[in-house]
Amino acid sequence: MNATVPYVPSESPLEMPSHQREASWPSTPTLEPTNPAAASPQRSLHVLCIDDDEQILESLRDCLGHFGHSVKVASGGKYGIEMFCTAMLKSETFDAVITDLSMPDVNGYEVTRQIKAESPETPLVLMTGAGTTKKDAEMMRAPVDAVVNKPPRMKELSDLLLQLARKA
């Protein structure tokens, strides 16, 4: 059985005597935030992420979770719409939805139309690797609040979600 023995410094010839150690080593400073508002936690959002790429979903869940958001993932457009509608029926609404544009079953344009039909106030972010703009999405009659390119910068995405949720 290993017992933990507390460390007791000795004054061996290789060590500085205790009265000199105390005088020569400054105490460790306590770091205080320079901006107290920056230290306060931001609002935690309940976010639904829809994509057909499992690695993208895992990355979104982990990174947005790091920023304090609760993230649910749906593999594919059809499943994402089902998850959104089921959550609404249970009064467990999402604060925001991120959906990929290109998915094999139901594309992001259709996802945005169906979710906005169910909940017009829910912020929707369209994520694309194709360089699509918000104007392109509007031309396709996709009711999106923002378009982000893949791979997204997670801090910027988190800030965007917070901004959109404040407006909703």
DSSP string, 113-129: HHHHHH-TTS-EEEEES
- Give the pLDDT score at 56: 95
List Cβ neighbours of 82 (8 Å cut-off, separation of 6 or more).
74
CA 50 vs CA 9, 27, 30, 70, 163: distances in Å: 58, 51, 43, 14, 20
Q: Is the pTM of this model over 0.85?
A: no
pLDDT tens track, the chain, 168 positions = 445 444 444 443 434 444 444 443 333 333 333 333 433 347 899 999 999 999 999 999 999 999 999 999 999 999 999 999 999 999 999 999 999 999 999 999 999 999 999 999 999 999 988 777 777 777 677 789 999 998 899 999 999 999 999 987
